[in-house]
Structure formats: C-alpha cells, structure tokens
C-alpha cells in the first residue's frame, strides 16, 4: 500500500479530496495549526472594518465597544470551536454533517444560505484586498469606483491557493500569523504615537442597546465561522481530542479577531469621517513612510488572502455537497473541483466590482443577517452531534437519501424555521437599517435592545432537543465507509 500521506499531503500537491471522508493514513498535522489558521485568518482588514462599524455607525464609546465585542467573540467563539471539534472524529467537511440532521436533500436549505454567505464575505474581501493591491502598485482608484486591477489580481491568488487546498491554506495561515503580529503591533504603536486615543474614551454611547449591538457584531463574526471550521480540522489524526481541537481553534479565532476589532474601534474613534472614505487607504496612511505603508499593504493582502481562501474553499465544499445530494456521489475529480473554484471566485470578483458604494452599512447588514439565519442551524447541528448522536454518525448514510437519515427530516427543518421566525418580534431597524422603520413589538418592550439571536438560541434548543431525542435514531457507534475500514487493514491498495 502506498502511503497517501506521502503522495497527497505535500504543500504543493493539489488536494484531491472534497466531501469524502479523509482516511486515517492521510491524517496529519497538530492542533497548533488550527490556532495559527484562525489567528492569522482573523488578523485582517475586514475584522478591522467590523470593529469600525461599532463606532462609525452605532456611535459606541470605544471602551464600551471593545468590552462588548470581546464578550461577543467569546460567546460566538465557543460555538464555532465546538464545530471544529467534529473534524478529527468524522474526517468530513463541516456542512455535509448537516445531512445527519436535515436529511440528504433537506440539508440543501442551510447549504444554499451558506453558499450565499461565502459569496458575500469573499466579495467583500476581494474589494478590500483589491484596494490594498491598487495602493501597493500605485494605481489610483476614483472615489466610489471599484479597484478592478487589484480585485482581478487578488482573485487569481485566491484561485491558486484554493486549488492547492488544505495544506497550502494552513501554510498561509502560519505566514499570516507572523505577518499579522508584526504588522498590527506596528499599527497600534503608530496609532498611539500619532493620535490622542485617550481623548476619545468616554465619548459615545454606553447604553445597553448599544452594548448589545456591539456584542452582536462580535458574536456574529464568530458564529458565521460555524459552517467553516471542520473543513480545516478534518485532516487531524482521528484520536485528536475534542478539547484540544476546541481550545486551539477558540483561542486562535477569538484572540486574532479581538485584536483586529479593537484596532478598528480605536481607528474609528480617532479618525472620524476620514476612515469612511477608504479603510485600506487610511491604514496605509497610519503606517507612515512609504516603505512602512508598503509592508502594511502586504500584511493586509496576506491576512485577507488567508480569509478569502477559506471562503472559496468552503464555498466549493458546500456547492459540491448540494450537487451530490442529488446524484449520491461521494467525491468529484480534481479537474471538476478546480473548475468549480474558478467559477466561484470569478463570481465573487464580479460582485466585488459591482458592489454598492455604501460599503459599511451594507456590510453591517450582511454580517448581522447571517447571524439570524445561522444561529438555529448551529444549535441544531451541535445539539444533534454532542447530545443526541453523541459523536456517533453513520457516514455512508450521509450520501444515501434512502439511508438512515432519509431525504428530508422535518424535525430539523421545522425547528430551523421556528429558530428564524422567533427572532422577528425582537428585531429593530436600529440594528438592521434595511428594515426601514420596523421595530419588533418585543424590542420596544426591551427599550430597543436587540436580543433576537439569543432568543433564537434558546428557542431552537427548546424545540429541537426534545423532539430529536424522540425521533432520531443514531447508530450505536460510528459507522465508517467500507473502503475506509479496508484501507486501514491493508485490504485495498491506495495509489
């Protein structure tokens, strides 16, 4: 038997696996790789912009905003890291596990929403990184226009890394971690050296509604990673403990995000309207001399490339999961995988170029809306895996709509719908400006404090857990595909 670890896990080897299970003899790496991936992937310009939103749109007092997003990051980080713990045990990307709850065809409902999320985040990343590349190359970009050259270059880089896949993504995460530590430390020094940060403290809103919306920004950032995380832990050795995977992912993601959002909050506090004209340009200006700005633009590009590759890679995993739910395939060819990646990234570039000039407000609505639709999915997935199935999954049945999990599972779908609908009475246009003048009746009772996502967590759990406990019939132990078991005992050759 030829070792697949030798032939298929090299950094410059094109990954061949998509939604099929990773055999034990291809498992490699350590949980430290989870820390660097999520730390480096969050030391990036979009996280800075998310922190900026707390001050620029919600007018929060800086220290209040910093504390609120920290609480939100911790709450959301627990959820996303629990999903990460599923990877080593199942050896599968994250979203295919939804078939165990929603059914093989029913899982297309959350999957389509996940694909929209990947497209949205990837398009945002392309726009911001395109701006950094244009600054780096000295290409002027007219106000309100898209940095087309930069977007095209960044898209090409995203395609290359995504095609090579898992190994190169983790290498890029380590590079982004080192670059982010150096670059962000320098930016903090420049910020305090050139601006009176202390004078901004105590200025701005500190009321409970503002605190809650800032907390929601942090929580939503972390929780929208829930569909990603097992994609990047599934190659870890199968005996890697849930606790080790959890803490490596949690600490990396929460720490990297909090640093970036804190920088965004403070920059927003001292810059006023200047940052709204171009976050990337302002950060370059903050860096100072041309050589320093050049280095900071590189840091932005590396960090954003890491994050954007996660979007493209995960987007393809979800797309393939949707397609194969109808044809019962467990894998696709490398050529098909590459074509899907190219088409996906091309679409994100088109969206980035055509995006509205009202970037901050649209991005804020996008992030918060994602929280509304992914909270109930996350609760259903985690409750089933840890409390109902108790880490016992019939993996072959995930690919067979006539198998254990069926085509559609109404228990999960109805619970999911309730988890979304129950949020409506708590929504307010103060948080979601796209709602116009809408104020949910219960949001008014709470003084405008939007707790819709927290209500969704509680209600989805209360509906799904007792219902699923009665109706779900998990296997007595993990059931592996026959070829997976045979490969471990040397019964089949692997080339």
Residue 159's pLDDT is 94
Nearest to 318 by CA among 29, 115, 23: 115
pTM listed for this prediction? 0.87
Contact 225, 253 (CB under 8 A): yes
What distance in Å separates the CA atoms of residue 227 and residue 208, rounded to the nearest whole number?
30
Q: Residue 446 phi/psi, 5° resolution?
A: -90, 10
CA torsion through residues 422, 459, 317, 410, sign: negative
Closest Cα partner for 99 from 360, 438, 394, 357? 394
pLDDT tens-digit readout, 11-56: 567 787 788 888 888 888 899 999 999 999 999 888 998 898 889 8
Instruction: Check: CB of residue 473 under 8 Å from CB of residue 390.
Output: no
d(CA 307, CA 313): 10
Beta bridge partner(s), residue 394: 479
Q: What is the pLDDT of residue 8?
A: 45
Q: What kind and span of H or E run contains 323? A: helix 290-327
* Contacts by 369-372, CB closer than 8 A, 24 or more apart: 369/432, 369/434, 370/117, 370/120, 370/220, 370/224, 371/216, 371/219, 371/220, 371/223, 371/224, 371/453, 372/420, 372/423, 372/452, 372/453, 372/456
> What digits encode the pLDDT tens for the residues 368-393?
677 678 889 999 999 999 999 998 99
User: Is 450 within 8 Å of 209 (Cβ atoms)?
Assistant: yes
Q: Confirm if 133 and 154 have CB atoms less than 8 A apart.
A: yes
Place of tokens 């929504």: 427
Angle ∠(43,117,391) on CA atoms, nearest 5: 85
CA dihedral 135, 140, 142, 146 (to 10 degrees): -50
Tokens of 158: 């995203």
Q: How many CB atoms lie within 10 A of CB 134?
A: 23
pLDDT value of position 165: 86
Q: Token pair for residue 274? A: 């200047």
Query: Tokens representing 23?
Result: 């055999």
The mean of the pLDDT values for the chain is: 85
CB atoms within 10 A of CB 194: 12
- Report CA Rg, the chain: 22
User: What pLDDT is attached to residue 330?
Assistant: 75
User: Can you tell me the distance from the alpha carbon of 445 to that of 409, in angstroms, rounded to the nearest whole number?
Assistant: 36
State yes or no: pLDDT of 4 exceeds 50. Answer: no
Report which of 337, 344, 338 is spatially closest to residue 312, judged by C-alpha positions.
344
Per cent of the chain over pLDDT 70 is 86
User: Which two structure tokens, joined as six digits, stand for 332?
Assistant: 């696709």
Confidence of residue 495 (pLDDT cuts 50, 70, 90): very low
What values do phi and psi take at 205, rounded to 5?
Answer: -80, 140
Helix (H, G, I), strand (E, B) or coil at 205: strand
Strand partners, 428: 439
- Domains, the chain, ranges and CATH? 18-488 (1.10.4160.10)
**Residues near 280 by beta carbon (within 8 Å), at least 6 away in sequence:** 45, 128, 131, 132, 135, 297, 300
Q: Report pLDDT for 484.
A: 67
pLDDT at 36: 95
């Amino acid at each position: 038997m030829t070792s697949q670890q030798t032939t298929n896990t090299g950094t410059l080897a094109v990954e061949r696996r998509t939604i099929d299970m990773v055999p034990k003899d291809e498992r490699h790496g350590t949980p430290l790789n989870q820390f660097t991936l999520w730390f480096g992937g969050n030391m990036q310009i979009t996280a800075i912009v998310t922190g900026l939103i707390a001050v620029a749109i919600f007018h929060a007092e800086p220290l209040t905003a910093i504390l609120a997003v920290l609480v939100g990051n911790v709450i959301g980080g627990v959820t996303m890291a629990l999903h990460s713990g599923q990877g080593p045990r199942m050896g599968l990307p994250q979203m295919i596990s939804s078939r165990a709850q929603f059914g093989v065809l029913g899982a297309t409902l959350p999957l389509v929403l996940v694909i929209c999320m990947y497209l949205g985040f990837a398009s945002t990343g392309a726009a911001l990184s395109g701006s950094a590349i244009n600054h780096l190359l000295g290409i002027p970009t007219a106000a309100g226009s898209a940095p087309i050259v930069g977007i095209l270059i960044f898209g090409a880089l995203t395609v290359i890394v995504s095609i090579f896949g898992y190994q190169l993504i983790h290498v890029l995460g380590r590079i982004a971690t080192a670059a982010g530590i150096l670059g962000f430390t320098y930016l903090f020094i420049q910020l305090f050296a050139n601006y009176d940060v202390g004078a901004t403290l105590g200025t701005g809103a500190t009321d409970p509604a503002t605190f809650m919306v800032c907390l929601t920004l942090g929580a939503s950032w972390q929780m929208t990673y829930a569909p990603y995380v097992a994609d990047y832990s599934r190659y870890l050795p199968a005996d890697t403990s849930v606790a080790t995977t959890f803490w490596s992912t949690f600490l990396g993601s929460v720490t990297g995000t909090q640093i970036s959002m804190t920088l965004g909050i403070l920059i927003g506090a001292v810059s006023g309207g200047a940052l709204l004209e171009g976050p990337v340009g302002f950060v370059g200006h903050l860096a100072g001399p041309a050589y320093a700005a050049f280095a900071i633009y590189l840091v932005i590009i590396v960090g954003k490339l890491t994050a954007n590759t996660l979007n493209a890679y995960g987007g393809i995993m979800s797309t393939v999961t949707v397609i194969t739910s109808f044809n019962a395939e467990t894998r696709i060819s490398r050529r098909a995988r590459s074509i899907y990646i190219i088409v996906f990234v091309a679409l994100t570039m088109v969206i980035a170029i055509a995006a509205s000039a009202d970037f901050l407000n649209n991005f804020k609505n996008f992030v918060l809306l994602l929280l509304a639709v992914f909270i109930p999915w996350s609760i259903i997935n985690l409750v089933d895996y840890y409390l109902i199935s108790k880490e016992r999954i019939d993996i072959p049945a995930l690919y067979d709509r006539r198998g254990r999990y069926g085509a559609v599972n109404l228990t999960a779908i109805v619970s999911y719908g309730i988890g979304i609908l129950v949020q409506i009475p708590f929504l307010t246009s103060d948080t979601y400006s796209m709602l116009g003048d809408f104020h949910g009746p219960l949001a008014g009772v709470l003084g405008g404090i939007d707790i819709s996502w927290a209500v969704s967590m509680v209600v989805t759990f209360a509906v799904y857990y007792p219902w699923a406990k009665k109706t779900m019939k998990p296997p007595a132990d993990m059931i592996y595909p026959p070829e997976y078991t045979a490969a471990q005992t040397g019964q089949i050759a692997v080339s």
